[in-house]
Amino acid sequence: MEDDWGVLSMTDLVYNHTSSDTPWLQANPECSYNLVNTSHLKPAFLMDRMLWHVTLAVADGKLEYRGIVPTIQHESDLQLMEKYLMDSFLPIYKLYEFYTCDVEAVVKKFKKLVQEGKVVEAGDSKLSEESLHLIQDPEYRRLETSVSMTDALAVFNVDKPGVKSRDERIKKCCEDFENHLVKLNQVKIDAMNDHIATAVKNFLANIRYRFVQDDGLRLKTVTRKQPLMDRYFTFPVGVPESSVEDDESLMDFDDTACIIMAHNGWVMNYDPRKNFAHSDSNVYLRRELIVWSDSVKLRYGESPADCPFLWDLMLEYTRTVVNIFHAIRLDNCHSTPVHVAEFMMDAARKVRPELYVVAELFTTGESLDNLFINHLGITTLIREAMSAWDSHEEGRLVHRYGGVPVGAFIQPHVQPLVPCVAHAIFYDMTHDNPSPIEKRCVYDALPTSALVAMACCASGSNRGYDELVPHHIHVVKEKRPYTYWNNTDNCGHMDINMANGIIAAKRALNDLHYELGIQGYSQVFVDQMNVNVVAVTRHNPTNHKTVVLIAHTSFTYPPHSKEKADVRPVIVTGNIDEVILEAKLVHHGSHSYHENKDVINGLPDFSLKLKKHIQLKDSEMATMWNDDNGKKSIGLTNLTPGSVIAFRVTLDNKSSSSIKSIKSMLQEITQEHSAESDDSIRNIISQLSLVDLNKVLYRCPSEEMDDAFGFGAYDVPNYGPMIYCGLQGIMSLLSKIRPANDLGHPLCANLRDGDWLAGYTARRLKVHATTKKLGEWLERFSVHLGGVPRYLVPCYFEVIITGAYMLLLEQSWNLMSSFVNNGSSFVHSLAMGSIQMCGEVKSSPLPGLSPSLKSDDSIASNLDINRQSTTLAAGLPHFADGIMRNWGRDTFIALRGLLLLTGRYQEARLIILSFGGCLRHGLIPNLLGGGEAARFNCRDAIWWWLQSIQDYCKEAPHGNSILQDPVSRLFPEDDSPPMQPGVKDQPLHQIILESLQKHATGVSYRECNAGFNLDRDMSDQGFNNNIGVDWATGFVLGGNINNCGTWMDKMGSSEVADTKGMPATPRDGSAVELVGLCKSAVSWLAEISQTGVFPHKGIYVEKCGQDIFVLWKEWSDKIQEKFETLFWISGTPDPDNEPKPELINIRGMYKDSHLASQFWADYQLRPNFPVAMVVAPELFSPNKAWTALQSLQEELLGPLGMKTLQASDWAYCGDYNNADVSTDPKVAHGFNYHNGPEWVWPVGYFLRAKLHFAKMLEASQPGVLSKTVKFVTQTLTHHNEAIQTSDWRSLPELTNQNGAHCRDSCPAQAWSMATILEAVRDLELIF
């Protein structure tokens, strides 16, 4: 067939059953579920025999005395049957005895053991009457269920207060035991009564379908061949069927019990992963099986060892079949054990690797379908149009089983895996089912075939459908052959040709189906035009040719077969080239149907009227006119039941021209040589700076409105505003809409309704001089988009915007460092945080720079210090503009990752100098406020600033030159009013010295403008600040219990919870990360002062009234000497170094602070010491550091962030809700901001510390480095996924416990992106 005709072949593979008379089954009964290997089926077998004997009794007229006659026709007959079964017949056989115990015998045994003084070994002290259960007899014999006598004695052989003798006690124990057994038996009896009631209900339902229902079999008389219900079990051949009692006796003998086998079938809504013949199922007993009484269910067990003969036989069967056939159909796949089918399919593909696997799979849902598909490698699932109950459902199936929507987005060649519908082969009718003429009506055959042909998937049919055979063709009982093909005019009663039934139309439809598939008409739209009329559109997304088919279905016989459909006109955008076909069935009424005794024949009184490839003017079903808007309308003037019409549509000239122009613009995007043109998009984008890219790609609404051009975020009707004003706002939506082809999304509706979004995108860029050309290019695109048919607008909008977006990303990475430009996609994503956060916002300026500051050509050229206003937002959208944008600590924690590692040295330099110009009290601002409105209420920003200067000097080209840059002092003295740039300039190294000297000397001050207007939540004492150094240890210290000067800066604000003015985490004293940052700074200064790069050797310290000069190295050494002694908590008790052991909650860690006012705070496990480990690793002994990091990993590490407090701590609350108005002081108004929620930025330092100390320990612990690299990589996958799935394309500020989303968190946070990028950089440097 393959070689001679080019035809491939397919056949069935059947694994879950075999014919009842299969010879090898009789010789190998272990292959079945029989009463020997599946003894739990004995009660079900007896139920089966009982009901069979009822059939015999009814057939023989033995129940007529009860009104039950062989000719069952009415519901009243079923009521009589139910009463007889439930009241008289079934109770006789006491089926519950298979599950209950013989109370008398069990009590007798118990009494004997008690009288013998049986000693019970000590057992479970929790034993009670409720824990004593019946133990099912494994052979399911009557009244052989038992109990554990050991447990029975332990529970019931006990003292009985008030009894007067041993015999009386024993009697009382036995009575109690007997009562308990009666209760246990009753539970089983009740369960059996329920099973029997369900079995009778299902038995009656079967009788109803077979004898009573109009849509059932309508059998006339009960006989052996037409029983009340088919049998569930085989019965030994030659054994008399004399009585139920005799049948039951067969179960006692293995030679007969082994050939009593369970038939196969299927169970409605049953989980196909479960075996309905298993001991935990009662399907057979409850008569829930739709049984196939001519087949036996096969029993494989869990592996080949359980039934070697069957596995070997089926393996050979499989290999033989697939060696011959190209494709197989897994028959009854849903009832085939998955592990068996998986084993056989693996073997099959070794014989034929390209095997095409079709499956008949009926499960309870598509998720279960996918389980079978994934395990078995199923290529195609069988689906059937006859499963639809009306035309709407049939149309849904056409849409469901293939293709993508008309106007669908163009998908990239490489795309993320997304859930999809399994590939289908869509049949108009499958085999061994009622004829559609029986199920619906003859007029529906043609329209259903037409709808199936329009489905964008494989299609199929069954012989007899096209010939209009009006009855069920039974695969077992039907003995006649099909009619023979005779393609001549001389057809006899046993022949057919193109003139019969709907065969000619089916060929035309099959040709159309093939054309649509081979020519790429991959898009589908289904329109329910009225109750019975369905229109299906197939569209070619490349040339935009369209085929529209309209079918008038007829699920029931129409009152008038020539009645015309009342449907709205079909609106067509384009030109109608031809009517591909129009067809309908015509009833002649001259012949009546009679079954041919020789062949399977169809209806003789219907003929097909078919026209192909005609002009619309020649159609008998449709006419066309133009409306006032120039659109074409097709009126369906003669669409009678059973009619079908299909026509071909092409684009008009205007639409074609617009699409051609857009495709030309797309070529500009995709072809690199297009950059040669000045006005090409590639050339335009190549001129954009990183600050420009911030405007083009990002900007949240408050940043955009800050420009005062009148733009905010684009508001999508029925959806809401986009999160970014730039292209990322659009792309965040499109990235979810496009993979799912969600053309029903409000954004797509908005695009179809008008070109507002395209216009907005262009206009907001045209107002800026540096992005104007890009705006003009997008404006040209918007004009062309207006000429595109509206249903195609989302597709073309997406492809251009996505293309431009990708070019913009490339430009972004090209402008950054080689680390970014050559980095992974994860590095690229993290680096985009630099552009997200770094931009120009007028309401958040930097203080003026020194007029004498010169451009550093090694990092940038053409510096315009008067225009400089590029700042780093702490997070979006909460910290995007105004005074809340520029935070000292946030800026400098994020600066290395977002500016230095990305190569943005110029921005980093100017931000460092600008903040340095604001130095006051030895500190830089917490909130910058343009400098003049700065707040100096944090102790840590100065140390992060110093760390950033050090990082700049090491990372930037000629980085040390920044130390000589002039800084304009805004506050030359602590009490100075703000000065203009240039009034007081100092080199940066002098500013550094002053900040350290202030700390060395110590400063106490009160914030300027202290009071309610400055901070409505701060207490009066909280405005008082002090900083200094404890020269006994060298540790920097400061703060008090009324303020919070580190990053854990939540100030209580709830009056009802009495937390207003109370810091949640003061962390005064010496915070561990500040000690580390200080050590890092003075160690670095010690090093560069030796070479003259830094001109100052140290600072002065007052001791005993004298100023003592302390070298940087001396300060560094002092910290080194004291750090581990005062911060390390040993893994084992160390009384000499543990002044307050009662406060230790966990060992093997570093304290969070030293000498905090809150006496317990030093000992709280928080994620801060890894900062010190990264910036000053020399402070830590590697083994101790590793132990502490392991503690941190086990106790604090979450999916995305790190808990800010150990979960076992009394103050821990893992979920942050700033709107909490409760009276609970731990959480009111988000008081627990830093007492549990999982912050992302500390993860970067934790991972960097892990990598550092793993390298140090590799020599003593071989393999620790590779394990750590793997751990870090796995941890970072969560952050990569988080960015890709975030609408903000960023990492959040924090999550709630266990990584849960936090509503009040910033969804995009600068330091989160920065520190994770730093961790990735360190990871790359390992190799």
Closest CA to 409 of 728, 737, 786: 737
Tokens of 1252: 């550092």
Q: What is the DSSP letter of 942?
A: H
CA dist 34 and 36 (Å) reads: 5
598 part of the active site: no
1234 part of the active site: no
Catalytic residue chosen out of the listed positions 12, 137, 176, 331: 331
Q: Which residues contact 994 (CB under 8 A, 6 or more apart)?
A: 919, 922
Characterise 272 by phi-psi region: left (phi > 0), alpha (psi -120 to 50), beta (else): alpha
Strands 985-987 and 966-968: antiparallel
Closest CA to 1162 of 1175, 1144, 1180: 1144
CA dist 47 and 54 (Å) reads: 11
Catalytic residue chosen out of the listed positions 246, 346, 432, 566: 432
Quickly count: other Cβ atoms within 10 Å of residue 985's Cβ. 19
17 part of the active site: no
Q: Is 795 helix (H, G, I), strand (E, B) or coil?
A: helix
Side-chain half-sphere CA neighbours of 791 within 13 A: 17
What are the strands of the beta sheet with 644-650, ordered from one edge?
404-405, 523-528, 533-539, 546-552, 644-650, 575-587, 606-614
Q: Which residues contact 249 (CB under 8 A, 6 or more apart)?
A: none
Cβ-contact 601, 669 below 8 angstroms: no
Tokens 């639409």 sit on residue = 655
Measured distance between the N- and C-terminal CA atoms of the chain, rounded to whole angstroms: 59
Q: Is 634 helix (H, G, I), strand (E, B) or coil?
A: strand
CA dihedral over 1079, 1084, 1089, 1090, signed as positive or negative: positive
Cβ-contact 935, 927 below 8 angstroms: yes
Tokens 């100092």 sit on residue = 986
- The vertex-1240 CA angle with 1234 and 1244, nearest 5°, equals 120
* Helices 825-837/793-814 angle, 10° precision: 90
CA dist 974 and 1014 (Å) reads: 18
**What backbone torsions phi and psi does residue 366 show, to the nearest 5 degrees?**
-70, -25
Cis peptide before 161 (omega within 30 of 0): no
Tokens of 246: 């005799």
Length reported for the chain: 1327
Cβ-contact 1189, 1251 below 8 angstroms: no
Catalytic residue chosen out of the listed positions 17, 334, 989, 1252: 334
CA dist 89 and 871 (Å) reads: 90
In order of 41, 264, 302, 303, the CA distances from 275 in angstroms are 13, 11, 11, 15
CA dihedral over 929, 932, 934, 940, signed as positive or negative: positive
The single-letter code of the amino acid at 62 is K
CA dist 509 and 814 (Å) reads: 54
Cβ-contact 907, 838 below 8 angstroms: yes
Helices (DSSP H) in 618-726: which residue ranges? 653-670, 681-686, 690-697, 701-705
Strands 424-427 and 458-460: parallel
Cβ-contact 1201, 1239 below 8 angstroms: yes
Quickly count: other Cβ atoms within 10 Å of residue 545's Cβ. 18
Cβ-contact 1271, 1250 below 8 angstroms: yes
Q: What is the DSSP letter of 1031?
A: T
- Would you please indicate which residues are annotated as catalytic (active-site) residues? 331, 334, 432
